[in-house]
Structure 1
Amino acid sequence: MRSPAADRRRPTLWDGLTALLVATAAFLLLAALQSEPGESLTAAVTLDGEILAEYRLEEITQPVTLTLDELSYPLTLLVEGDGVSILHSDCPSQDCVHTGKITQAGQQIICLPNRLIVSLTGTHDLDFDAVTG
């Protein structure tokens, strides 16, 4: 004998409320994990695992342009108080340029042909681990 629940095909009001509750919880968790506006960010430019330059973004008052002509594919970085972007690159895929401006801790711009990584790190510590809770 089949149960009445097996014959039901349309979502009920309780199904909708459960989905709304899960979506709300996911949104609140995402909002809690975002960088805070007052967070101190540091941009590190790394080539082959060696740090070429570091910038504390809150200390940047005027945009800083860093041109790296010695690379296989020369590129130009723009460091501003609110983030970092690659303005120009001679690499074939242009993925690093298309990444756009990074503005939050944990974000990176990677130029594989040049083996260059630009990463943002923050000094704001959360009260809990994002993985274990």
Structure 2
Amino acid sequence: MEAWGLRERRSVEKLAGYAASPSREAVIGALDNCYDPCCRERRISVVDMGLIESIEIQDRRVRIEMVLTTGWCPFASRLLEMVTEEVGALPTVDSVGVDVVWDPAWTPQRMSESAREKLRLPLEKLEPLREARLRGEGS
């Protein structure tokens, strides 16, 4: 349950921006604070992972379509909650709907270059592994 002070502050914030609709940039900014739990330590957001298929904004309502990396993701419900909470916290948003879509399917090509770079092993970590393998160690 929300504390009374927080509810009051949010009400004032929403009234202050009542006539405004959220901007696409504001929604994307909120989504940049949402991390797939599997990529949190590398700071790869759902935007950089390529999980956001579409964003629709109508008045103060936001609808987001997301793709998941796999249908077996054990964190899917938490991820959808996180997206709803972050976007819903914007003062110009009254409601958020998040739907999972399976077409098109997620592929690694959907990731941003930044995400790909963060997921690559640095060369200095790969070189010793390569050398050990060439020497016949660790096989």
- Which has the larger Rg? 1
Tell me, yes or no, whether TM beats 0.5. no
TM-score by length of 1: 0.29
Please state which structure has a larger fraction of its residues in helix. 2
TM-score under structure 2 length normalisation: 0.29
The higher relative CO (CA closer than 8 Å, separation ≥ 6) is in 2
